[in-house]
Structure formats: C-alpha cells, structure tokens
C-alpha cells in the first residue's frame, strides 16, 4: 500500500496546490495546517490524498509524512511559479495529461460505485489456495531479459561453485541479470504478485533445486530454492491481502469492460 501511496504524493500535491488553496480564491476547505506564501495546505488535502485507499491503515507518523510532502510540494510549486516555470510548453502538456489521468480515475471510481468484495469471496479464494498459504519459502530469483542467456544462467546456478558465482556476479555488474534474494515468505501471499506456475513449482521443490525459466510480464526468471517449510500466518493478514488483491482484479475487469464499451463511441481509428 505504501508503494503507490507515497509514490503519488508529489503528483497529488501539484493539484492540492491549485487556486482553491491560494489566498484570495475563497475560504479554503478544511483546517489550515500550513501556509506557504499565498498557498494553504489543509487537512482536507491530506484526506484527498488518501481517497480510494482502505481506511485505518496509516499511522500518525505516516500522516505526518504526507503532510510534510504536501508542504514541500507547495514550497517547490511556489518557487517554480516565481521563476515562471509554468511557461514551459512541454511541462504544461505533461500537467494536462496528469489532470486527465486524475479526472479519468475519478470517473472510473464513480462508475464502479459501491461494489465490494464479500467475505465469502475472500474465504473461497483462500480455500482454493490453502496449500500455498500454509507454506513459506526462501529463494533466489534471477531476472533476465535476453532469452538466449537461459542455458548459461541455468548451468551456472546448477554449478553453484565459486567460479560459477563469480560469472554470475560479472553478469550482474554488466546488467545482464538481476538476482534477488527472497527471504522466507508465505507462498500464498507471494502468489498474489508472482506467476502461479512459479509459486506452485516452488511449493513442490527441494532445497537447492533450480526451477524455470518462468515468463514474467517483461522479463524471464530462474529460481534457486533455499528452503520450503510450514507456515502459520495470521488469518487477518491473509484476509486483508486477499481482499485488496481481489478488489484490484475486480476493478481492472470493470475498467476493461467499460473501456471496450466506450471505444466505439469515442475512439477514432
């Protein structure tokens, strides 16, 4: 959750610092928490930054971090206006697309309405993957983009000697591969982000077994299994993760369906 929240703060801040938050543009909505020249930042701006996210997941420290990011954004915005940065045509075109993106997301949110994933759907999903949620694994995942390297990478991983590891280090330094060490993690939770065939293979694997290659969205991957053992995660944590995953999938299906319905009306070939 933190990834997409904090990554979007500067973008959201650009629009939080619009005319409605400037002195002389009417009374700002919400309690004023900071003033930067003629720009005010209010608690309403923080709430708008969190729109669409599950409630009750931010600590006071995280809310303070959002506040400080909005203040920084307002300060940089004020300095940019003083230096007439907004006269840059390419910048204004980028801002226009950012504006379109936010309005489009709000349109999708309004059309999606109050649809909600039910507890029954969550429980059914967990039941189908019950064997995954009861196991955890640690492994090395080696990402690569050039499919011609697959035999070389497999042989080096199978070798496991110091010489083979030196070759892998050299390939990493050259940017040919990107090895990632995955610490002991619940396989059911990993299956929400990783290919199901990869996770199912890890579930059945032995220690030091090399698996793959697997096709990812924009790369390939080998896996060298370090351990597979029993796990007993907190049920509430699993339910929350599955709820967010199913919600994201349902929203994507809805957006795809709406896009196809609107294509004939608006899209010009």
DSSP 74-87: HHHHHHHHHTTGGG
- Length reported for the chain: 269
Q: What is the pLDDT confidence band of residue 52, given thresholds at 50, 70 and 90?
A: low
Most confident range (mean pLDDT) of 6-10, 55-59, 160-164 is 160-164
Of the candidates 138, 119, 136, the residue with the CA atom closest to the CA atom of residue 242:
119
Q: Which residue has the tokens 């890890």?
A: 202
218-259 pLDDT, tens digit each: 899 999 999 999 999 999 999 999 999 999 999 999 999 999
Read off the tokens for 194.
């990783």
**H or E, element range at 103:** helix 89-112
Answer yes or no: are the C-beta atoms of 179 and 142 closer than 8 Å.
yes
Q: Which helix (H) or strand (E) holds 265?
A: helix 235-266
Residue % of the chain over a pLDDT of 90:
66
Specify the higher pLDDT residue, 30 or 230. Answer: 230
Per-residue pLDDT reduced to its tens digit, 76-103: 999 999 998 888 899 999 999 999 999 9
Q: Number of C-alpha atoms within 13 angstroms, CB side, residue 173?
A: 6
């Amino acid at each position: 959750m933190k990834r997409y929240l904090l990554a979007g703060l500067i973008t959201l801040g650009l629009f939080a610092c619009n005319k409605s938050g400037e002195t002389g543009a009417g009374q700002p909505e919400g309690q004023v928490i900071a003033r930067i020249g003629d720009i005010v930042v209010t608690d309403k701006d923080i709430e708008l930054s969190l729109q669409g996210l599950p409630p009750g997941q931010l600590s006071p420290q995280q809310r303070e971090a959002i506040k400080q990011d909005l203040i920084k954004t307002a300060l940089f915005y004020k300095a940019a206006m003083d230096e007439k940065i907004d006269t840059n045509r390419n910048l204004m075109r980028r801002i226009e697309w950012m504006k379109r993106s936010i309005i489009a997301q709000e349109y999708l949110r309004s059309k999606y309405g109050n649809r909600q994933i039910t507890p029954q759907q969550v429980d059914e999903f967990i039941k189908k993957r019950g064997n995954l949620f009861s196991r955890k694994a640690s492994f090395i995942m080696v990402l690569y983009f050039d499919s011609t390297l697959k035999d070389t990478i497999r042989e080096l991983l199978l070798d496991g000697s110091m010489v083979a590891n030196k070759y892998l280090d050299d390939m990493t330094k050259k940017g040919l591969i990107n090895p990632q060490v995955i610490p002991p993690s619940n396989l059911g939770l990993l299956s929400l982000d990783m290919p199901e065939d990869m996770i199912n293979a890890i579930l059945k694997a032995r220690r030091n077994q090399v698996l793959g290659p697997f096709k990812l969205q924009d790369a390939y991957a080998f896996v060298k299994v370090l351990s597979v053992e029993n796990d007993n995660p907190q049920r509430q944590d699993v339910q929350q993760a599955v709820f967010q995953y199913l919600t994201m999938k349902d929203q994507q299906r809805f957006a795809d369906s709406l896009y196809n319905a609107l294509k004939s009306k608006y899209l010009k070939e």
